[in-house]
Structure formats: structure tokens, C-alpha cells
Chain A
Amino acid sequence: MAKAKEINAQIKSVKNTRKITRAMEMVAASKMRRAQERMRAARPYAEKIREVLGHLAQAHPEYRHPFLEAREVKRAGFLVVTTDRGLCGALNVNVLRKVVDKMHELHQQGIDADLGVYGNKGIAFMRRHGGHMVAELNGLGDRPNLADMIGPIRAMADAFRRGEVDVVYLVSSRFINTMVQRPALEQLLPVAKPEPTEAQKKEQWDYIYEPEARPVLDRLLERYVESVVYQAVIEHLACEQSARMVAMKNASDNAKRMVSDLQLAYNKARQAAITQEIAEISAGAAAV
């Protein structure tokens, strides 16, 4: 019976683990719905500001904003979005791999990188591997607003303005659907302008700026950069919850399968013990 008892203990432990993963799955599912709603709500702003920027690219402003000017790259900046907590599948690993790949590629061209990192997972990773972090932020919670996450954005934008970095990349997860999240690397600064068409090139026009081009464009581009990062963080939160839900669902399913396998082994062991006992008794009786 000793073997059956052991298996029974194991079944209990797997069942307990399953209870936890089930609970986490359900928590993630409800958080996911809200995170997705927030992600969708934030989209119109990002789209509109991009549209305005597109109009701006068609206009012929007399003032060229530094955020729009590409320059020779001597040092790169990265804004990396990761989660605070683990147990969400390969989400963070995928993002970090993308960062490391790009850093490696730049390093071979003699370009080093400064990092601004969101989330404990990314911070811990970069500390361990000696990435040069200029800004880090954790503990954003489930519904961050722009003011909460402004630190690293400011740090990177200022570094770009001062010429300490010549290009800034934003790496985060894209939400494709609940099952699929893809890591994405996009160039945040200098802002990539949509190429004007031939017809647009011929049409000469510019905005009236009130009070002046410079402060208005400063404000617009600052908002643009903030909104892109905000959108990325919000989207990453939706990714986190989806990834966690899927990971925990898989864990629960695995636990279920394991319990049924163990149950079978337990039944067999129990039956074997009974059979042996009967065999022993009848052998004893025959001997008498």
C-alpha cells in the first residue's frame, strides 16, 4: 500500500497547484477584458495624432523640429516595455530577445545603447546582464495613466534632444489576438514621416501657427511621443493578461491530465496491493 499512498499524496499536491492556476486563469481573464477595452479606448487618440502628424509632413513648415530630423547614429536609446510579474508565458522573453538582438546588431557597428525599462522583469534582466539603464520604472499597476509612466519617456526624449542618443527604439508586445502576441520594435525618434505623394508635393501650403510654429510643434511632437509609448504600455498590459490567461489555462489542463494519469497509476497500485494480499492469504490457507 505504500506506493498507493505516495501516489495519493502526489495527486493531492497536483490538485492544489491546479486550484491556484485555475484561479489565476480566471483573474487574468477578467483583467484581460478590461485591459483590452482600455487598449481600444486609447486607440483613437493615437490614430488622430498620427493623422495630424501626417498632415504636418505634407505642409512646409518653416521650422524643422529636431524630433523629425534623422541624423548619424552614434548611440542608440531603447524604451523596453515588460511586465512586473511573471507567469505569463514567453511574453517578456520575446521582447527581451528582440532588444538583445538589436543591441547586438548595433554593437557590431560600434553603437552602444542606453536603456529605459518598464517592468520588473526587464529591469532584473538588464541588471543581470549589465545593460546600461538610464531610466527604469516598475509598479505601474493595472490601469496606469500617462502621468505615471512619463519618467522614462522624458529621460529618453531629453537624451535625444541633447544629442546623447541619436535614435530611440520602442520595444513592446503587439496584441494580435488573445492567443497571439508578437514582440515589435519600432523607431520612436526621430519620428518617421510618411512620404508625401507627388500631388501633395506640388501643393504648397502651411499651417497658421498660434502663437508660433516652435512651441506648437514642440507640444505636438512631445504629445505624439508620449501617446505612442502610452499606447504601447496599455497594449502590453492587455498582452500580459492574455498571455497569462493562456499560460495558466495550459497549466490547468496539464494538471488535469496529470491527475488522471496519476489516478490510473493509483488504482493499479491499489489493485495490485489487494491482489497480492489475497494471494498471500490463499497461499497461507493452502499451506495450512
Chain B
Amino acid sequence: MTIDVQVVSAEGSIYEGAADMVVAPGEMGELGILPLHAPLLTGLRPGELRIKHGAETEYLFVNGGILEIQPHLVTVLADSAERATDIDEAKARAAKEAAEARLSQQLDGMDYAAAQAELLEQIARLKTVQKLREQGLLR
């Protein structure tokens, strides 16, 4: 038995297909989703989305969004998403450093929150790359 997975972001459809298991970065912690899961609605934080199908695992990076689960369907409405193998590590690192630099300055509320969100996003992105490398999926 499998569960259908659809990952979309405002810029387009990222992934569509069947899966044996989906692991998503829910707001309250990682969620492992198997077929016939109870209906659930939650926010996502930036992190890695794993879609297991047979022996293969697809790694995606989602930058926050909303996750809907129906017994036979998982819908990920990502704010933005990319395949983990497409992550530009150098770019992510540069963006992280820029965010850190901005955080170290004295900023007022809005800017501070934006810089913090940016930092969290880049850290999550780099973590995803790191994990892929450890598993030998990336050169």
C-alpha cells in the first residue's frame, strides 16, 4: 500500500508520485507519515522532506509551508521547495553569513525577525546538504 504525495510551491509543482513513507519537518517536530494516516493539518518549518518509495528515497528541501494529510494523500504546500541535490551550498553558506552579520547589528523588530528567519532557513538548508553527504549521496 502506498500513499500519494504532491509537493507544490508557488513557483511550480516539485514532486508528484506514490510513496511508502514520507518524513516531513512539522512545526512540532518530524512527522513520519505512512498510508492510512489520520487527517492532519500542520505548519512546516524549514527542513528536509524525505519521500521513500521502495528502495529509493527522494530528498527535498522545503522552506516552511503547510502540510495536509488525508488517509491516501499527502499535500505539501511549500513556501518554496527544491530538490536537495539542487541546493547551492556556497550560496546557502554566503546567505547564512550575511544573515548572521545582520543579526549582530542592532536591528529593530521587523528586520531582526526577517534576519532570524533567513538564518534558520539557511541553517536548515546546509543541514540537509550535510546529511546527504554523510550518506554518500552527494559527492
Q: Which residues of B contact A (CB under 8 A)?
A: 6, 8-13, 26-28, 38-43, 65-66, 68, 70, 75, 77
Please name the residue on chain B nearest to A220 by beta carbon. B66
Given that A55-B68, A219-B66 are contacting pairs, would A45 and B10 also be in contact in the complex, using a CB cutoff of 8 Å?
A: yes
Cα–Cα distance between A282 and B13 once the two chains are bound (Å): 83
Query: 4 extra interchain contacts, Cβ-Cβ under 8 A, other than A42-B12, A45-B13, A210-B41?
Result: A48-B77, A59-B39, A210-B42, A216-B43
Q: Which residue from A45, A56, A206, A217 sits with its C-beta under 8 Å from B77?
A: A45
Given that A59-B39, A210-B28, A215-B43 are contacting pairs, would A41 and B11 also be in contact in the complex, using a CB cutoff of 8 Å?
A: yes
Cβ contact within 8 Å between B70 and A55:
yes
Cα–Cα distance between A210 and B39 once the two chains are bound (Å): 11
22 A-B pairs with CB atoms under 8 Å apart are A44-B12, A45-B9, A45-B77, A48-B6, A48-B8, A48-B75, A49-B77, A56-B41, A59-B39, A207-B40, A208-B39, A209-B40, A209-B42, A210-B26, A210-B27, A210-B28, A210-B41, A215-B43, A216-B41, A216-B43, A223-B66, A223-B77
Cβ contact within 8 Å between B39 and A52:
no
Which of chain A's residues have a CB closer than 8 A to the CB of B8?
A: 44-45, 48
Given that A52-B66, A210-B26, A210-B28 are contacting pairs, would A42 and B10 also be in contact in the complex, using a CB cutoff of 8 Å?
A: yes
Which of chain A's residues have a CB closer than 8 A to the CB of B66?
A: 49, 52, 216, 219-220, 223
Which of chain B's residues have a CB closer than 8 A to the CB of A49?
A: 66, 77
Which of chain A's residues have a CB closer than 8 A to the CB of B6?
A: 44, 48
Which of chain A's residues have a CB closer than 8 A to the CB of B28?
A: 210-211
Cβ contact within 8 Å between A52 and B26:
no
Q: Which residues of A contact B (CB under 8 A)?
A: 41-42, 44-45, 48-49, 51-52, 55-56, 59, 145-146, 205-211, 215-217, 219-220, 223, 227, 230
Cα–Cα distance between A42 and B13 once the two chains are bound (Å): 8
Main secondary structure of the interface of B (DSSP, over half): strand
Please name the residue on chain B nearest to A211 by beta carbon. B28
Which of chain B's residues have a CB closer than 8 A to the CB of A45?
A: 8-10, 12-13, 77
Which of chain B's residues have a CB closer than 8 A to the CB of A219?
A: 43, 66
Please name the residue on chain A nearest to B40 by beta carbon. A208
Cα–Cα distance between A146 and B38 once the two chains are bound (Å): 32
Cα–Cα distance between A206 and B41 once the two chains are bound (Å): 10
Q: Which 7 A-B pairs have the closest CB atoms?
A: A41-B12, A210-B42, A44-B13, A207-B41, A208-B40, A45-B8, A44-B8
CB distance from A206 to the nearest CB of B (A): 7
Cα–Cα distance between A167 and B27 once the two chains are bound (Å): 32
Given that A49-B77, A210-B26 are contacting pairs, would A205 and B39 also be in contact in the complex, using a CB cutoff of 8 Å?
A: yes
Q: B11, B41, B77 — which one has the most chain A CB atoms within 10 A of its CB?
A: B41
Cα–Cα distance between A202 and B82 once the two chains are bound (Å): 40
Q: A45, A56, A145, A206 — which one has the most chain B CB atoms within 10 A of its CB?
A: A45
Cβ contact within 8 Å between B10 and A146:
yes
Given that A41-B12, A42-B10 are contacting pairs, would A208 and B77 also be in contact in the complex, using a CB cutoff of 8 Å?
A: no
Q: Which residue from B13, B26, B27, B39 sits with its C-beta under 8 Å from A206?
A: B39
